[in-house]
Structure 1
Amino acid sequence: MLRPVGDQGQQVVRGPLERWPRDRYGIKALTPYEFEDFVAWLLQRDGCLDVKRVGGAGDDGVDVRGRTVLDRPVAVQCKHLSNKVSPRQVREFLGAVIAEHRDGVAVFVTSSYFTKNADEFGVAHGLVLVNMQQLVSWAGGSWSPVAGR
Structure 2
Amino acid sequence: MAAARKRRGTAARKRRERRLWGGVIAGGVGVVLLVVFWNVIWPCLVGALVLGGVVGGGWWLWRTDLSIRGGDRQWRHDEAVRAGQRTLAEVDVMTGREFEDFVVELCRRDGCTDVRRVGGSHDNGADVLGRLPDGRSMVIQCKRYAPKRKVPSREVRDLLGAKVHFKADVAIFVATTYFSGPAEKFAAENDILAVHRDHFGLWNNGASLPSLGAVTGLGQGDRRHRERWKETYG
Q: TM-score band, normalised by the shorter chain? A: 0.7 to 0.9
Q: Could you say if the C-alpha distance between residues 145 and 130 of structure 1 is closer, same or farther in structure 2, counting changes exceeding 3 Å?
A: same
- Give the conservation status (yes or no) of the 8 Å contact 1:22–1:139: no
Specify which of 87, 112, 117 is matched with residue 48 of structure 1. 112
2:163 to 81, 94, 97: 97
2: CA distance, partners of 1:120 / 1:113: 13
- The residue that corresponds to 2:187 in the other structure is 122
State the structure with more CA Rg: 2
Give the distance between the partners of 2:136 and 2:119, measured in 1 at CA. Answer: 20
Size of the alignment, in residue pairs? 127
SS of alignment partner, residue 119 of structure 2: coil
Q: CA deviation at 1:24?
A: 1.6
Which residue, out of 181, 199, 203, partners 1:138? 203
Secondary structure, counterpart of 2:173 in structure 1: strand
Partner of 2:132: 68
1:148/1:119 CA distance change after superposition, 3 Å:
closer
Work out whether residues 139 and 162 of structure 2, in 8 Å CA contact, stay in contact via their aligned partners in 1. Answer: no
**CA drift at 1:70:** 1.3
**Corresponding residue for residue 152 of structure 2:** 86
Structure 1-normalised TM-score?
0.79
**Identity over the aligned pairs, expressed in percent?**
39
Secondary structure of 1:23 counterpart? helix
For residues 14-60 of structure 1, give each alpha carbon's deviation from its aligned partner in whole angstroms, at most 9, with x where no partner exists: xxxxxxx9622111011111100010100000000011001001111
RMSD between aligned residues: 1.8
Contact 1:22 1:136 in 2 (8 A): no
1:113-141 deviation per Cα after TM superposition (whole angstroms, max 9, x unaligned): 10011001111100000001110110000
**Aligned residue type for 1:31:** T
Structure richer in helix, relative to its length: 2
Which residue of the partner structure matches residue 106 of structure 1? 171
Structure 2 distance, partners of 1:40, 1:74, is 12
Does the C-alpha gap of structure 1 residues 123 and 32 become closer, same or farther in structure 2, counting only changes over 3 Å?
same
Distance 1:99 1:77 in 2: 13
- Larger RCO (CA within 8 A; separation ≥ 6): 1
Match in the other structure for 1:57: 121
Given residue 119 of structure 2, which amino acid in structure 1 is its aligned partner?
Answer: G
Q: Distance in 2 between matches of 1:26 and 1:106?
A: 26
Identify if the C-alpha distance between structure 1 residues 124 and 34 changes in structure 2 by more than 3 Å, giving closer, same or farther.
Answer: same
Q: Give the structure 2 partner of residue 33 of structure 1.
A: 97
Any stretches of 5+ residues in structure 1 without a counterpart? 1-20
Report which stretch shifted further, 63-72 or 22-31: 22-31
